[in-house]
């Protein structure tokens, strides 16, 4: 998998990383991403045991939405959601506060 953004533990002088070194993957969905593509990517991250997955959806003409997931025993569980214009505070390996109205 090639996430849109990732947090990587260890050295940064590499072009690829093993899944164990990726505590967080971020996917940015656009209208061009099919439901099947989205489901496949989420399943692949879960299969690779990536502990945290954040998804940002950028629909055309609508505010961004944010989901934060943590890996459990049976797959990802949603821990955070922020809708149009809300500020999301996500924990995990990189605690952040993001105003979804600023995402484009």
Cβ contacts of 3-7, under 8 Å, gap ≥ 24 = 3/27, 3/45, 4/28, 7/93, 7/94
pTM: 0.85
pLDDT in tens, the chain (104 residues): 889 988 888 776 777 788 888 999 999 998 888 999 999 999 999 999 999 999 999 888 888 888 999 999 999 999 988 887 788 877 667 777 888 877 77
Domain locations in the chain? 22-102
CA distance 35 to 23: 24
Res 36: pLDDT: 93
């Amino acid at each position: 998998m090639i996430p849109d953004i990732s947090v990587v533990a260890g050295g940064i002088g590499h072009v690829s990383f093993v899944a164990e070194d990726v505590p967080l993957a971020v996917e940015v969905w656009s209208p061009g991403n099919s439901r099947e593509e989205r489901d496949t990517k989420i399943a692949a991250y879960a299969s690779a045991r990536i502990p945290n997955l954040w998804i940002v959806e950028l629909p055309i003409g609508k505010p961004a939405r944010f989901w934060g997931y943590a890996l459990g025993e049976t797959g990802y569980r949603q821990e955070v959601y922020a809708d149009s214009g809300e500020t999301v505070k996500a924990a995990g390996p990189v605690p952040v506060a993001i105003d979804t109205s600023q995402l484009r």
